[in-house]
Amino acid sequence: MELTDAIRTTGSVRAFLDQSVPDEVLYTILDDARFAPSGGNRQAWHVIIVKDERRRRALRDLYLDGWRDYVAHVLAGLVPFSPLASDEDRAAAASKRSAAIAVSKPDGFPETLDQVPVMLAICADLAALAATDRDLGRYQIAGGASIYPFVWNVLLAARARGLGGVMTTMATRNESGVREVLDIPHDQIVASIVALGHPTSQVTKLTRRTVQEFTTIDTFDGEPFTSNS
């Protein structure tokens, strides 16, 4: 597959065939993904392949809890988990929690997360992250840039083998819970739970903003950058 095709068509897959992924294939996916970039090339990731059913169910429940918060935010008309959320926003989302539980579907992705063919918990070693914005006194984002390219590489490498998946973060809302389930030490953070498997269908068209909608010349509010700028 052409690299540009892969970039343009690797969408989230949340529905999988009842078909397992051999360990040899998973190994090759991780073997490709490890070439991701990271600050100082410190490769702070650690992957836990969650096979144990009890641990999977526990992670599903933690995910579901976060998912209900997500739905509650949507029902309240908010951007879920925005770093700029006010106390009023948080209260508005909390007031929709019961409504969010009510819209739960028994066969939905969150409700059946424990049954995905492959479940990976991807951790990051806090001591090894290059958090260049750590002293700015605002929400920090730079440290994540040393771990999510690896997560994305896992998804691209899976795609190259006819597999699909999705990076998820709902369960990380209850990081201490995830730590307890998987015996993760305190100097590690949980970046993502990734689901992988054989897709029931392959998305070919992704919905994304155009270049000129997010690119400007010289200043943030400069002229939009178009192909004939």
Q: Contact positions toward ligand FMN, by CB under 6 A?
A: 11-12, 14, 166-170, 206-207
Q: Quote the least distance from Cβ 172 to ligand FMN, whole Å.
A: 8
Q: What is the largest CA-CA distance in the chain?
A: 57
Q: Quote the least distance from Cβ 67 to ligand FMN, whole Å.
A: 7
Residue 62 vs 170, nearer CB to ligand FMN: 170
Per the document, the length of the chain is: 229
Residue 166 vs 216, nearer CB to ligand FMN: 166
Residue 43 vs 169, nearer CB to ligand FMN: 169
- Rounded-to-integer distance, Cα 83 and Cα 192, Å: 18
Q: Quote the least distance from Cβ 208 to ligand FMN, whole Å.
A: 7
Residue 200 vs 226, nearer CB to ligand FMN: 200
Q: Quote the least distance from Cβ 178 to ligand FMN, whole Å.
A: 13
Residue nearest to ligand FMN (CB): 168
**Exposed / middle / buried, residue 208 (Cβ in 10 Å: 0-12, 13-18, 19+):** exposed
The single residue listed with the structure tokens 């178009």 is 226
Q: Quote the least distance from Cβ 170 to ligand FMN, whole Å.
A: 4
Residue 11 vs 39, nearer CB to ligand FMN: 11
